[in-house]
A and B are shown apart, each in its own frame.
Chain A
Amino acid sequence: MTQKNNKKENMFAIFSGVIIIIIACVLFKKGTLIDFLNRVGMNGILVLSMVPTIICGVGLNFGISIGILCGLFGGVLSIEIGLTGILSFVFAVFVGIILSAITGILYGKLLNGIKGDEMTVGTYVGFSMVSLMSIAWVILPFKSPDMVWTIGGKGLRTTISLENSFGGVLGVFGSIFIFILLCILLYGFLHTKTGIAMKTAGIKPKYALNCGIKPDKYRILGVMISNIFGAIGILVYSSGYGFLQLYQAPLMMPFAAVAGVLIGGATIKKASVLNALLGVCIFQFLMTVSTPFINSIFSDSSLSDSVRMVISYGVVLFALVRQGGRRIK
């Protein structure tokens, strides 16, 4: 059984390796390395945020939109106060972390109540929170002229330019640096006593209970870490992108992150920091390269969008099928 699994894993690794090589050839010819690095830095942390939940046994965190929304709220608050430059980014991250830690605990408690259906419920929790926050974006009394609709003077715009606050303050290497730093932190954490306990709780909850580890507690911890990473991730992403996207924009972001970590070879039960690192590289390679490539084939931008949609959802579907069903008692 294990041998078979290993074989499968190896096949997958070789398959992805070949893709990397093919794509790398194209990439260096086109000289879009900076673009690629930029994308990795922007998306890396969001992909990394999937790892803690998988390890603690919750599975793929489709509800990462909650963390994303907390991060966005931090960003909006920092613009409202009128901070500029790196200070505004730090403030946004600070607020984001506090909020996402609180919501992460609550979300973790909710997920503990529905063991077995975490992913389905997580998706819908994420969706409903996006709609709830859409109401909040309209109602909350923000005043900053950078964010509020010019006509009417009420409610935030759908996209907010970060020109006057933290847009681009990190630079390409700044965002890469944060990504790598978080990778190292998470890796380190997973090798502490708490981290190992979390792993055990994820793999064998009953065994963990016998060892005196409370699985529920570690599940909440995992979800909380994931949520915090989501908040930091979206702020780094927005900073690189130059805009904060509100309202319906965070709705589908979890799926891209999920696809990213799965391409890196993670499964619903098993993931490592390396998977996230590898996954985000391959996924962004694909995205960077596929855009001109697909456009040249189909000469229609909406077609390339749907091709991308098929690829990323196809990866998630493939991972679900590969994992197989839950064992039936």
Chain B
Amino acid sequence: MKTLKNIFKDYTVPCIFILLGIIGFLISGLSFKMVINDLIERLGRNLFIVLSLIIPISAGMGINFALTVGAMAGQLAVIAVVVMNIEGIGGTFAAFLISVPISIIFGLIIGFLMNKTKGREMITGLVAAYFFSGIYQLIILSLPINNPIIGVEGGKGIKSTIDLGIIKYSLDRFPTYIRVLGIKIPLFTLIICGLLCVFIWYIGKTKLGQDIKITGLDIKTAEEKGINVNKVRIIAIVLSTVFAGIGQIISLQNIGTLSTFGSHEQVGMYAAAAILVGGASIKKAKFTNAIVGTLLFYFLFIVTPKAGANIFGDTQIGEFFRVFIAYGVIVVALYINNKKNKSY
């Protein structure tokens, strides 16, 4: 029989967030139905990216902050699709296909860097994300553009926001527009996320999955067992990067506009915060963590601006507050994790 105190001890971070969310919800005075509606939409939009964090965590590489790099690959693919003008669900799947090779190349580079810096993967990923952000900007800016849809009219360069009308809601509303009790449900997107969960579960059963697990537990043992540790780690990162690219496309088709220079920047951080809120640690994560975390984190995300507006009379404060929460949760979660792993 678990006491309340024990539950709190085991799931400190999720419990704090449930409390914060409920307080925020009460202050914001938003209608319950609207919040649920938003929440389901956000779930469809972000779950896939959050799920892509799981494999590197189980490979012992910590949280993959270089997720951003995969998101960039996804954005490049989306731009390509807009240029080729492929409409509807076909366009989205074309974007998936185009993003995969780009993600693999980026992922190989990130994996190589992380193998060079074992034990410091997280900070490497963080800096690598900013580094690739610069390279991404260079690629984007040096593209020769004569396309009226993405180029600036009568000038040089690319628009800073691109309208994705041609693929908007192509997944969410496939095959039709589904509403249950007045709540919009992006059924097909959720099915795709489910497939990824199944895939992650399946990989855990294969030999590769076992190798990943052993590498995550102890590199030394893994080496003694004859596992090619570096290769396993690179595979984990490449998979994560590929999923991040696909996830970014999914979220973009929901948002409907691409901010060429900014869409990818917060992806890694929000995903990391979400999975940590869900009770994952930097050593262990399951897809329930991802799902619970995404729900909780975005629940707070939806209510804080309105709550901030109600308390301080300023929406901007709510905006700052939720960014503070996102960064803060990463600090708190890493701190708690480290305390628990003190034994080593």
Interface residues of A (CB under 8 A from B): 62, 110, 113-117, 119-121, 123-125, 127-128, 131-132, 134-135, 138-139, 155, 255, 300, 302-303, 305-307, 309-310, 313-314, 316-317, 320-321, 323-326, 328-329
B272 to chain A, nearest CB (A): 9
30 contacts between A and B (CB under 8 A): A114-B334, A116-B119, A116-B338, A121-B334, A121-B335, A125-B327, A125-B331, A128-B328, A131-B321, A132-B324, A135-B317, A135-B324, A138-B314, A138-B317, A139-B317, A155-B314, A255-B127, A255-B130, A303-B141, A306-B134, A306-B141, A307-B138, A309-B137, A313-B127, A313-B131, A314-B131, A321-B113, A323-B120, A325-B116, A325-B120
For residue B231, CB closer than 8 A to chain A, the reply is no
**A261: min CB distance to chain B, Å:** 14
User: With A120-B334, A314-B131 given, is the CB distance from A321 to B137 under 8 Å?
Assistant: no
In the complex, B204 has a CB within 8 A of chain A = no
> In the complex, which of the residues A124, A125, A300, A313 contacts B141, with contact meaning CB atoms closer than 8 Å?
A300
- Shortest B291–chain A CB gap in Å is 23
Q: Which residues of A contact B137 (CB under 8 A)?
A: 302, 305-306, 309
Residues from chain A with a CB closer than 8 A to the CB of B124 are 317, 320-321
Are A310 and B219 in contact (CB-based, < 8 A)?
A: no
B112-124 vs A, Cβ < 8 Å mask (1 yes, 0 no): 0100111110111
Beyond A131-B327, A320-B120, is A303–B142 a contact (Cβ under 8 Å)? yes
Contacts of B126 in A (CB 8 A): 120, 123
Q: How far is the CA of A326 from the CA of B209 in the complex (A)?
A: 25
**Pick from A120, A314, A325, A329: contact of B118, CB under 8 Å:** A325
Chain B residues in 8 Å Cβ range of A306: 134, 137-138, 141
What 0/1 readout, one digit per residue, does chain B (318-335) give for beta carbons within 8 Å of chain A? 001101100110110011
| Given A121-B335, A300-B157, also A323-B327 (CB < 8 A) | no
B338: nearest chain-A partner, CB-CB = A114
In the complex, which residues of chain A have a beta carbon less than 8 angstroms from the beta carbon of B225? Answer: none
Identify which of B127, B135, B330 gathers the most chain A CB atoms within 10 Å of its CB: B127
A321 touching B116 by the CB < 8 A rule? Answer: yes
For residue A4, give the distance in angstroms from its CB to the closest CB of chain B.
16
Chain A residues within an 8 Å CB radius of B127 = 255, 313, 316-317, 320
Q: B327 to chain A: which residues have CB within 8 Å?
A: 124-125, 127-128, 131
Does B33 make an interface contact (CB < 8 A)?
A: no
Q: How far is the CA of A119 from the CA of B331 in the complex (A)?
A: 11
CA distance A306 to B220 in the complex (A): 40
A328 to chain B, nearest CB (A): 5
B205: interface (CB < 8 Å): no
| Cβ contact within 8 Å between B119 and A121 | no
Residues of B in contact with A (beta carbons under 8 Å apart):
62, 113, 116-120, 122-124, 126-128, 130-131, 133-135, 137-138, 141-142, 156-157, 219-220, 312, 314, 316-317, 320-321, 323-324, 327-328, 330-331, 334-335, 338-339
- CB contacts (< 8 Å) of A155 on chain B: these are 314
CB distance from B277 to the nearest CB of A (A): 14
Cβ of B123 and Cβ of A326 under 8 Å apart? no
CB-CB under 8 A from A325, the residues of chain B are 116-120
A62 to B126, CA, bound (A): 11
B197 → chain A closest CB, angstroms: 27
Contacting residues, chain B, for A328 (C-beta < 8 A)? 118-119, 219-220
Distance in angstroms between the alpha carbons of A324 and B317 in the assembled complex: 41
Instruction: Choose from B120, B123, B323 the contact partner of A123 (Cβ within 8 Å).
Output: B123
- How far does the alpha carbon of A117 sit from the alpha carbon of B123 in the complex, in Å? 8
**Inter-chain contacts of B133 with A (CB < 8 A):** 309, 313
Chain B residues, CB < 8 A from A320: 117, 120, 123-124, 127
A134-B117 contact given A119-B123, A128-B328, A316-B127, CB 8 Å threshold: no
| Chain A, residue nearest B122 (CB) | A120
Question: Are A135 and B123 touching (Cβ within 8 A)?
Answer: no
Which of chain A's residues have a CB closer than 8 A to the CB of B324? 128, 131-132, 135
Residues A117 and B338 in contact, CB atoms below 8 Å apart: yes
Decide: A114 near B335, CB < 8 A? Known: A127-B327, A134-B320, A135-B321. Answer: yes
CB distance from B156 to the nearest CB of A (A): 8
11 new A-B contacts, CB < 8 A, other than A135-B321, A325-B117, are A120-B334, A121-B330, A123-B123, A125-B327, A128-B327, A131-B323, A305-B137, A306-B138, A309-B134, A317-B113, A325-B116
Q: How far is the CB of B318 from chain A (nearest CB, A)?
A: 9
Those 3 A-B pairs whose CB atoms lie nearest each other, nearest first = A325-B118, A326-B119, A128-B327
Q: Return the chain B residue nearest A306 by Cβ.
A: B137
Looking at B123, B137, B321, which has the most chain A CB atoms within 10 Å of its CB? B123
A313→B65 CA distance, assembly (Å): 15
C-alpha gap A306/B133 in the complex (Å):
8
With a cutoff of 8 Å between Cβ atoms, the chain B residues found around residue A309 in the complex are 130-131, 133-134, 137
Q: Min CB distance, B313 to chain A, in Å? A: 9
Shortest Cβ gap from B75 to chain A (Å):
15
Taking CB atoms, residues of chain B closer than 8 Å to A120 are 62, 122-123, 126, 334
The reply to whether B118 and A113 contact each other, CB–CB distance below 8 Å, is: no
Contacts of B157 in A (CB 8 A): 300, 302
Q: Are B312 and A139 in contact (CB under 8 A)?
A: yes
Chain A residues lying within 8 Å of B120, measured Cβ to Cβ, are 119, 320, 323, 325-326
How far is the CB of A125 from the nearest CB of chain B, in Å? 5
Instruction: Chain B residues near A138: list those with CB within 8 A.
Output: 312, 314, 316-317, 320
Of chain B, the residue at the smallest CB distance from A308 is B134
What's the nearest-Cβ distance from chain B to residue A106, in Å? Answer: 13
Please state if A110 and B335 are interface contacts (CB–CB under 8 Å): yes
Q: Residues of B contacting A132 with CB < 8 Å? A: 320, 324
